[in-house]
């Protein structure tokens, strides 16, 4: 199983608000979208600064987060553990990330609930030195509690048939097959040479 650097997809938890007005909402909805834009910027700044406490402060206590490697984390503590595992722990995979998000349209509002979707272009530097850009798709659900909007659910995915990590694995596999093939050819040549020597037998002695 290819383990994608899904931890950094926590970054996508803030990508629910557009950077520009795509439609003309009502005055009340316009105020809501303005608040969501502020929250987006707050979350983006927290992510790029790797300020996990600041980022988690905008999540609902029962937040559900589905990463791009199909891991599901529920609750702030589980997301904190995931972030620590992927970006801070002794076996961390990601060294740093910079995310750039785009929305498809304005967040769809249903009373005190909002649903947003969009795309992301994320620049990852992995601990093994790999430098990749991943294009992803995301869907986010928000809920309003009092005068605050909190992220209640987030789902992130990437193209399983065409992404940089898959390409890297294919290249590594091809390199491995090439090495094995060359080794087999070399072994075959050595074995063939020995067999020819044996079949020729010892040279006849002069009478």
Mean pLDDT on 72-84: 94
Cα–chain-centroid distance for residue 72? 13
Residues 99, 169, single domain; the answer is no
Q: If 0-12 CB within 10 Å is exposed, 13-18 middle and 19+ buried, where does residue 184 land?
A: exposed
**Ranges 85-89, 142-146, 191-195: which has the least confidence:** 191-195
Cβ atoms 34, 25 nearer than 8 A: no
Give tens-digit pLDDT for 93-119: 888 888 877 888 899 999 999 999 888
Look at residue 1 and tell me if it is in a domain: no
Residues 82, 142, single domain; the answer is yes
Buried b (16+ CB within 10 A) or exposed e, 127-147: eeeeebebebbbbbbbbeeee
* Beta-bridge partner residues of 86: none
Residues 138, 190, single domain; the answer is no
Residues 47, 78, single domain; the answer is yes
Look at residue 206 and tell me if it is in a domain: no
Across all residues in the chain, what is the average pLDDT?
A: 75
Residues 145, 57, single domain; the answer is yes
Residue 129 or residue 7, greater confidence: 129
Q: SS3 letters for 88-150?
A: HCCCCCEEEEEEEEEECCCCEEECCEEEEEEEEEEEEEECCCCEEEEEEEEEEEEEEECCEEE
Residues 89, 42, single domain; the answer is yes
Residues 42, 138, single domain; the answer is yes
Number of domains in the chain: 2
The pair of structure tokens assigned to 206 is: 């002069």
Note the pLDDT of residue 165. 57
Which residues make Cβ contacts (< 8 Å) with residue 115, sequence separation at least 6? 107, 108, 139, 140, 141, 142
Give the domain CATH number at 13. Answer: 3.10.450.50
Residues 24, 126, single domain; the answer is yes
Residue 75 or residue 5, greater confidence: 75
Identify which of 12-21, 25-34, 105-114, 165-174 has the greatest average pLDDT. 105-114
Residues 51, 78, single domain; the answer is yes
Look at residue 205 and tell me if it is in a domain: no
What's the CA gap between 147 and 42, in Å, rounded? 16
Residues 40, 110, single domain; the answer is yes
Residues 92, 142, single domain; the answer is yes
Q: Provide the Cα torsion 133, 65, 144, 80; round to 10°.
A: -90
Look at residue 207 and tell me if it is in a domain: no
Buried b (16+ CB within 10 A) or exposed e, 41-61: eebbebbeeeebeebbebbbe
Residues 58, 117, single domain; the answer is yes
Tell me the pairing of strands 148-158 and 59-66.
Answer: parallel
Q: Which domain holds residue 100?
A: 6-160
């Amino acid at each position: 199983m290819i383990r994608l650097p899904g931890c950094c997809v926590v970054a996508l938890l803030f990508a629910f608000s557009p950077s520009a007005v795509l439609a003309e909402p009502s005055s009340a909805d316009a105020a809501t979208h303005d608040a969501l834009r502020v929250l987006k910027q707050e979350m983006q700044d927290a992510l790029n600064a790797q300020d996990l406490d600041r980022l988690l402060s905008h999540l609902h206590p029962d937040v559900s987060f589905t990463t791009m490697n199909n891991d599901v984390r529920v609750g702030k503590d589980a997301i904190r553990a995931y972030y620590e595992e992927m970006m801070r722990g002794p076996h961390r995979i990601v060294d740093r990330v910079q995310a750039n998000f785009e929305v498809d349209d304005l967040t769809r509002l249903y009373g005190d609930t909002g649903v947003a979707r969009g795309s992301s272009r994320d620049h990852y530097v992995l601990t093994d030195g790999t430098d990749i850009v991943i294009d992803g798709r995301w869907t986010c659900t928000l809920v309003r509690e009092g005068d605050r909007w909190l992220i209640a659910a987030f789902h992130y995915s990437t193209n399983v048939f065409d992404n940089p990590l898959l390409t890297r694995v294919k290249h590594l596999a091809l390199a491995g097959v090439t090495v094995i093939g060359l080794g087999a050819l070399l072994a075959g040549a050595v074995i063939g040479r020995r067999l020819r020597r044996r079949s020729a037998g010892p040279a006849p002695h002069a009478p």
